[in-house]
Structure 1
Amino acid sequence: MKSRTMRLATMKLATVKLTADPSTTSGIPGHTSGIVRSIFLVFLLVTLVFNVISSDSMADAQTARFDLNSVSPTVLLKIPGLSEDIVEIIVLYRKLKGGFSSLDEFFDYIDASTEERMMWSQLFFVRDNTENAALAAGPEYSLPVMTEEASESIVSEETPSPVATEPLAASASSAITAGNNGLPSAPAKIPSAPQGADSFRFCVISDTNGSYGSIAQGAGVGAAMKVIIGKLKPELVIHNGDMVAGQSRKVRPDRVRAMWKGYFSAVQEPLAKAGIPLVPVAGNHDAAPGFPDREIFREVWNDSRRVPALEYVDRDSYPLFYSFRHKGSLFVVLGGCSGKFSTREAALAAKLIRARSGGENLFVFNHVPFEKLYESEHGHMDAGGTVRKAMEEAGLSLLFTGHYEVYFKGYHGKIPIVGTGVLASVKRIPRTQKKPQGMSFICVDVAEGRLNTVFALKGPSFNIVFDESGLPEGFGHYRRFDVESGLMQKTGK
């Protein structure tokens, strides 16, 4: 890189000499005084130094390539084929690890195709300096490893922009395109919250924890809270599991309690101050069977300061299994955070689900889904057991899951599902896809007693509605909400 800078300086100096020569400069006549020429030369030299410094920090002037570790996000977003997701990854990678040590590390991390590697190799370089050499030889990281300082610095730089809204149609049967079986498509922009009898908005967040034992919440939590409280103004927020980072023998009970204190400070207390109840759903890192975490989960959520003020239907097994109603909709929380239900738990879950009355909405929440949403297997519910049978018989409106940290909206067999995205990682790649999806959370509108809108907001600022056309059409027993089941069978996806 030093030789490139010297070549650039040589070219600039040659330009200065040519410009300063009275016989070749049209801007400065040959009879101009030596003082004026000297002032003009100094100005050009200052400009040269500025240009060299600027180009050295960002781009190679001879090849018009950009330093991947210093080019601004604004410039990155203008690079052909470089999506917002990849730009988000680059920015967070800089924060968490200092940058990429080589282009190959970048390509491998985003799983770039051969064509992308060829194209972006012509546009980027990684500076070969001592900092990157030390980075390459440094310790291994499991991204994102969030410290409190790193989390706060990322969130503070991603302050949400003003959120554009559009009014919701007065009728519940508003002009929102419905997918197969009536599951609604996302609106183009964030709608205003619905008004009227039995109308309300709720948000679903999930997987906000950091690395094992981390007291700090994930990188997207602060920005998400600002949008939820300041713009969306839901009547409820459901946290669909993995609030803290337990489920490790190395994380002692006192540390688990400290993590809960950090969680309440970052999530529950700001919501409570805004008058928004926070509904807990046990995740495997919160209340895994066989760990002391499970009893601590019961302890902290039975603290009178934390128990959400709800219209409970059944709270005998709160905070693991319980149900409540809100404006004519039934909410059922299941504590199957390992994916396995004991005989007693399965019977209890079925009882809660079958309490649906008439045609009311039935929203069910369980951290672990029926099937994996990215390639690695990390547990799932029994797809043919008592709990699923109860869901199918009750005709639930939506099953919300987490755990796999990617957003997906569609069906698992005949069951309408929403896989809740993540607020603490940008690494998860949905099945059948090549690139990480990024951070997101869910917003649901019920208008006049009917499920009206279900959409995700995309990080890091959470002021953009997630483009659902980019979701996988289907995999395993899943299919996207707008894909006909017959098409999935014919294509074998």
Structure 2
Amino acid sequence: MQFWRSRLRIFLSIMVGLIMAIALHACQGETNVANGDSNNTPSPKTNQTVATTKPSEQPPKAVKLPPATKAIVDRVANGLYNPPRGDVRLAVISDLNSAYGSTDYEPEVDKAIALLPFWQPDLVACSGDMVAGQYPSLTEEQMQAMWAAFDDHVASPLRKAKLPFGVTMGNHDASSAKSGSGKFLFARERDVATKYWNDPAHDPGVEFVDRFEFPFYYTFKYKDVFFLIWDGSSDLIPKDKLAWVEKALQSPEAKAAKIKILIGHLPLYAVTVGRDSAGEVMSNTEELRAMLERNQVHTYISGHHHGYYPAHKGKLQLLHMGVLGAGPRPYLGGRMPPRKSMTILDINFASPELTTYTTYDMRTMQPIKYDELPRSINGHNGMVLRRDLKMEDLSTSERTACEKQLGASLCSA
């Protein structure tokens, strides 16, 4: 009898231990979920999924990364940073082209497209130069081949991912430069670009408000964001087109939006070496800026200068985009070596700044910090200030240097 009592005590002890272990495991699981261990903050080094919800949403939705994306993410030293998500997220790219007539793309172009599943943008914007045209001897067949290559590397993957794609024409896509007689110097290139973009098979997937003269002039919206595209493939926008711009910015859709964003190729102000001259920036700069401010445009996204520089002038935010293709350029008056980059732009409607930029050096995939960039840049047509600074933040020597170079009238922001 004593033997069986001993066996019974051992059995009961084992059962109690098992029940306590199961209960403890269940409690730990609930604690982990409450503390956000369900992939809300993924470790980039071993990242197979990313959270796609905004900070205010619970629980986060995890998306498994494609093998090509994960392979790039896993190679980033210290992990690939994924910024806090805004109400709307844009992936912004620019200047994808290589040598004239090329149907090949730099590795950074494919890298940027492959990484989109990591950032999970709501849409992709491109500020021009998607192909390598603007060369008189190119045949129509060569131009069509360039756009076919662009489709393979960029547009087709975005369509498959169902990502809206807002683009503007660059000088290498379909230059609007004209001869003395008023005819387009690159009329064939403009015709080929027009046919490519108006082919239903190449639908960019945006919600058009006004197609007007798509792909050169048009508007679209995404939620509470209103986008206007103008033809900044050369420095001059005709008066009748500017009249359309003002009308579009006063449309009911534009007035109802919480933010207005303009996308064009040439910037308003010069920021890089080799682009600091008339014809490399928009003409009538101050008149254009006044018009944009009058119509409450928040940000002008531009390309062409091949150097990322987040700036502001007056009430207008200026996002000068870096390059993914060939030819990154150094800053005017700067010592930093040129580098390729792309930007994730998060729009936060409740924030006074409305927008946040996270821009990546495409070689290291590390975010570029503001304090790495020039505090201000003095181009031939005016000074621009880095986005995080005000005029009073500049030293006396910085202001004096600008005034000696440009004159007092151009040294304000």
**What TM-score does the superposition give when structure 2 sets the normalisation length?**
0.70
Structure 1 counterpart of 2:232:
336
- The answer to whether the Cα contact below 8 Å between 1:283 and 1:403 also exists between their aligned partners in 2 is yes
Paired amino acid for 2:110: G
The equivalent residue for 2:94 is: 206
Query: What is residue 456 of structure 1 aligned with on the other side?
Result: 359
Mapped to 1, the partners of 2:89 and 2:350 lie a distance apart of 11
SS in 2 for 1:220: helix
Could you give the per-residue CA deviations for residues 267-307 of structure 1, whole angstroms, max 9, x where no partner exists?
Answer: 01111111112222100000112201111111100010112
Larger Rg: 1 or 2? 1
Give the direction of change, closer, same or farther, for the CA distance of 1:361–1:427 in structure 2 (3 Å limit): closer
C-alpha distance in 1, partners of 2:268/2:343?
Answer: 19
Paired position in structure 2 for 1:375: 273
Deviation at 1:165, TM superposition (A): 7.5
Distance between the aligned counterparts of 2:230 and 2:328, measured in 1?
27
Q: Pick closer, same or farther for the CA change 1:297–1:369 going to 2, 3 Å.
A: same
Output the CA distance in 2 between the equivalents of 1:162 and 1:333: 39
On the 8 A contact 2:99/2:326 being kept in 1, the answer is no
* Alignment of structure 1 residues 338-353 onto 2, 5 Å: 338-353=234-249
Distance 2:170 2:45 in 1: 31
Query: Which AA in structure 2 matches 1:361?
Result: I
CA contact 2:270–2:281 (8 Å) conserved in 1:
yes
Which residue is equivalent to 2:264? 366
Task: Give 1:489 deviation, angstroms.
Answer: 7.8
**Distance (whole Å) between structure 2 residues aligned to residue 293 and residue 322 of structure 1:** 19
Consecutive unaligned residues in structure 1, runs of 5 or more:
1-159, 172-187
- Is the counterpart of residue 190 in structure 1 residue 90 in structure 2? no
How far apart, in 1, do the equivalents of 2:246 and 2:336 lie?
A: 37
The one-letter code sitting in structure 2 at the alignment partner of 1:190 is: N
What is residue 334 of structure 2 aligned with on the other side? 433
Instruction: Measure how far apart 1:247 and its partner are.
Output: 0.4
CA contact under 8 A between 1:329 and 1:449: conserved in structure 2?
Answer: no
**Shift in Å at residue 204 of structure 1?**
1.0
After superposition, residues 6-45 of structure 1 pair within 5 angstroms as: none
2:224–2:256 Cα contact (<8 Å) kept: no
1:373 Cα shift?
1.4
Q: CA 1:271 to 1:237, structure 2 compared with 1: closer, same or farther past 3 Å?
A: same
Residues 258 and 349 in structure 2, CA contact (< 8 A), matched pair in contact too = no
Q: Is the 8 A contact 2:344 2:358 kept in 1?
A: yes
Once the two structures are TM-superposed, the CA of residue 383 in structure 1 deviates from its matched residue by 4.2
Which of 169, 174, 181 is residue 282 of structure 1 equivalent to? 169
**Equivalence map 1:139-158=2 (5 Å):** none
Code of the residue aligned with 2:392 in structure 1: it is G
The residue that corresponds to 2:109 in the other structure is 221
Asked whether 1:269 is paired with 2:161, we answer no
The Cα shift of 1:411 comes to 0.7
- The separation in 1 between residues aligned to 2:245 and 2:107, in whole angstroms, is 33
Paired residues in the alignment total 312
Q: Please say if residues 473 and 483 of structure 1, whose CA atoms lie closer than 8 Å, have aligned partners that are also in contact.
A: yes
Give the residue type in structure 2 aligned to 1:170: S
Could you say which structure has the greater relative contact order, defined with CA pairs below 8 angstroms and 6 or more residues apart?
Answer: 1
Q: CA deviation at 1:343?
A: 1.4
Which residue number corresponds to residue 410 of structure 1?
311
Partner of 2:200, secondary structure, is coil
- 1:414/1:162 CA distance change after superposition, 3 Å: farther
Task: Summarize deviations over 1:116-174 as a string: whole Å, max 9, x none.
Answer: xxxxxxxxxxxxxxxxxxxxxxxxxxxxxxxxxxxxxxxxxxxx976798996439xxx
**In the alignment, is residue 471 of structure 1 matched against residue 359 of structure 2?**
no
- Aligned-residue offset at 1:191: 1.9
User: In the alignment, residue 420 of structure 1 is paired with which amino acid?
Assistant: M
Q: Distance in 1 between matches of 2:238 and 2:94?
A: 24
- Structure 2 equivalent of residue 303 of structure 1: 199
1:86-112 superposed Cα distances (whole Å, 9 cap, x missing partner): xxxxxxxxxxxxxxxxxxxxxxxxxxx
Cα distance between partner residues in 1 of 2:250 and 2:106: 36
The one-letter amino acid of 2:255's match is S
Does the CA contact (< 8 Å) of 1:354 and 1:390 recur in 2?
no
Q: Is the 8 A contact 1:206 1:422 kept in 2?
A: yes
Of residues 226, 233, 236, the one that matches 2:123 is: 236
The residue number in structure 2 matching 1:480 is 386
**Whole-angstrom CA distance in 2 between matches of 1:445 and 1:347:** 30
When normalised by structure 1's length, the TM-score is 0.59
Whole-Å separation in 2 of the counterparts to 1:165 and 1:469: 29
Question: In structure 1, how many angstroms separate the alpha carbons of the residues matched to 2:108 and 2:337?
Answer: 15
> Hey, what's the Cα distance between the residues in 2 that align with 1:227 and 1:449?
28
- What does the per-residue CA deviation read over 1:423-462, in whole Å, with 9 as the maximum and x for residues that have no partner? 0135410111123331111111123576242221221253
- The 8 Å contact of residues 411 and 417 in structure 1, kept in 2 or not, is answered as yes
The answer to whether the 8 A contact 1:382-1:388 is kept is no
Query: Percent identity at matched positions?
Result: 25
Q: 2:156 & 2:126 partners in 1: Cα distance?
A: 14
Q: 1:161 to 1:460 in 2, by over 3 A?
A: farther
Structure 2 distance, partners of 1:485, 1:268, is: 41
SS in structure 2 at match of 1:191: coil
* 1:389 Cα deviation from its structure 2 partner: 2.6
8 Å CA contact 1:444–1:454 kept in 2: the answer is yes
User: Which residue of structure 2 lines up, in the alignment, with residue 357 of structure 1?
Assistant: 255
| Cα distance per residue 1:337-368 (max 9 Å; x no partner) | 10211111222222223333156101110100
1:170 to 35, 56, 60: 56
Deviation track 1:191-245 (CA, whole Å, cap 9, x = no partner) reads 2534xxxx221111000001101011223111111111x2011111111100000
1:294 equivalent in alignment to 2:194: no
RMSD (CA atoms): 2.5
Letter of the 1:249 partner, please give it.
P
Q: Does the aligned pair in 2 maintain the 1:223–1:460 contact within 8 Å? A: no
